[in-house]
Amino acid sequence: MNLKQLSQLLGLSQTTVSRALNGYPEVNAETRRRVLEAVRETGYRPNRAAQRLATGRAGSIGLVMPTADGIYSDVHFGEFLAGLGDEAVKHDFHFVINPSHPDDEAATCRKLVASGNVDAIFLAYMREKDPRIPMLKSLKTPFVVHGRTIGVPTDYPFLDIDNTGAFYDAARLLAQLGHRHFALINGPDHLAFAMRRKKGAKRALAEHGLTLPEECIYHARMTDEQGFQAMERFLRLDTPPTAILCSSTVLALGAVRAINQAGLKLGQDISLIAHDDVLPMLRPENFSVPLTTTRSSLRAAGQRIAQRLIAGILNLEVLPQQELWKTDLIVRASTGPAPAGKPA
């Protein structure tokens, strides 16, 4: 069943049927009703390829998935993708997922746009002065950034969470609990979100006359094993930190393991706050000692970005171009007052 057949069935022209379907105003209400009904009865579905050809829209959004042989596939990415998918499927949009070595993202992204296969680009894993921003601005392809760059004007569409604020809040809470020795297990140091989190933590500490020494900062991919190694290293320091900030519950997983292994009690000997992306497979309340977290749903972010991307392509309502989401600080058992007099 195609448009032609459908229009013949209705005794209308293809033009009118097409317009009725696409919500154009110049079609009689009654006519539109008939068309819609016929669609329901016949199960007609427009051919997407023909639509794409006729409109010049690809009907798909492109994303670069940082992954390569031997390189991690990020859990966080999967969760975000689920959100994107939720929304995209509602509008019959496709994805073009272009795997790329993390270091080639800019080039891959350019190729993806040049392929003409996508009419919008989703950008993530932002770096300082990320070259992809000026590149995409110079092209006409719409895009939305998940996160923000650092060091360049943020005059582009983005959705980010308040990373600085989140880690400021977390660090302040721990400082108020009397902790004096902090450590941060963070994401890769070239990524903007990690920089902001560090900044937020440092700011809160500074307000309490505290610092975050270099040896108490660990940057790495956000995996369990990295969390473990980071924590092990911290515990070997002369004055091990009693307050840990952690950029992901995945990192926290490893960190907690190291803490247990060292025979320390989480929430007593040592406190930890992790950022929680609301990964359904790893819930902070299910840790052996439930984790205090700063929370913001990655999946919700994915949904929202898809919404904006698609609205932009289809010229639907105009959505805000820049959004900064606050995070929730949720206190559970992994945070407690600083242990008393430290054994010098």
Partner DNA sequence: GGCCAAATTCAAAGCGCTTTGGATTTTCTT
Partner DNA sequence: AAGAAAATCCAAAGCGCTTTGAATTTGGCC
Q: Please give the residue ranges that form the binding site for a copy of itself (CB under 8 A).
A: 43, 45, 47-50, 52-53, 58, 60, 65, 67, 69-75, 77-79, 81-82, 85-86, 88-89, 92, 94-99, 114-117, 221, 223-225, 228, 250, 253, 256-257, 260-261, 279-283, 286, 288, 299
Question: Near DNA by CB under 7 A, which window of 19-27, 147-155, 250-258, 334-342?
Answer: 19-27
Contacted by 19, from DNA, a copy of itself, none: CB < 5 to 8 Å by type: DNA
Compute the distance between CA of residue 303 and CA of residue 308 in angstroms, rounded to an integer: 9
**Is residue 14 a contact residue for DNA (CB under 7 A)?**
yes
Choosing from 8, 42, 55, 321, the residue that interacts with DNA (CB under 7 A) is 55
Q: Is 118 in the site for DNA (CB under 7 A)?
A: no
Q: Where are the alpha helices (DSSP H) in the chain?
A: 3-10, 14-21, 29-42, 48-55, 75-90, 105-114, 132-138, 163-176, 192-207, 224-235, 249-261, 298-314
Query: Residue 114 or 316: which CB sits closer to a copy of itself?
Result: 114
Residue in 46, 142, 337, 339 binding DNA, rule: CB under 7 A: 46
CA–CA separation, 101 and 123 (whole Å): 15
Choose between 3 and 330: whose C-beta lies nearer to DNA.
3
Compare residues 116 and 151 and give the one whose CB is closer to DNA: 116
Which residues are paired to 127 by β-bridges?
A: 191
Segment near DNA (CB under 7 A); pick from 45-53, 178-186, 306-314, 327-335: 45-53
Least distance between DNA and beta carbon 53 (Å): 4
DSSP helix/strand/coil, 120: strand
Residue 134 in tokens: 């000026």
- Looking at residue 248, its amino acid is S
Contact window for DNA (CB under 7 A) among 14-22, 162-170, 176-184, 256-264: 14-22
187, exposed or middle or buried, with CB in 10 Å at 0-12, 13-18, 19+? buried
When the beta carbons of 21 and 262 are compared against DNA, the nearer one is 21
Three state DSSP letters for 205-257 = HHHCCCCCCHHHEEECCCCHHHHHHHHHHHHCCCCCCCEEEECCHHHHHHHHH
CA-CA distance, 33 to 244, in Å (whole number)? 62
Question: Minimum CB separation from a copy of itself for residue 154, in Å?
Answer: 29
CA 140 to chain CA centroid, Å, is 23
HSE-up (13 A, CA, CB side) for residue 224: 4
Between residues 286 and 315, which has the closer beta carbon with respect to DNA?
A: 315
DSSP state of 317: S
Q: In the complex, which residues of this chain contact DNA (CB under 7 A)?
A: 2-4, 11-16, 18-19, 21-22, 26-29, 31, 44-47, 50-51, 53-56
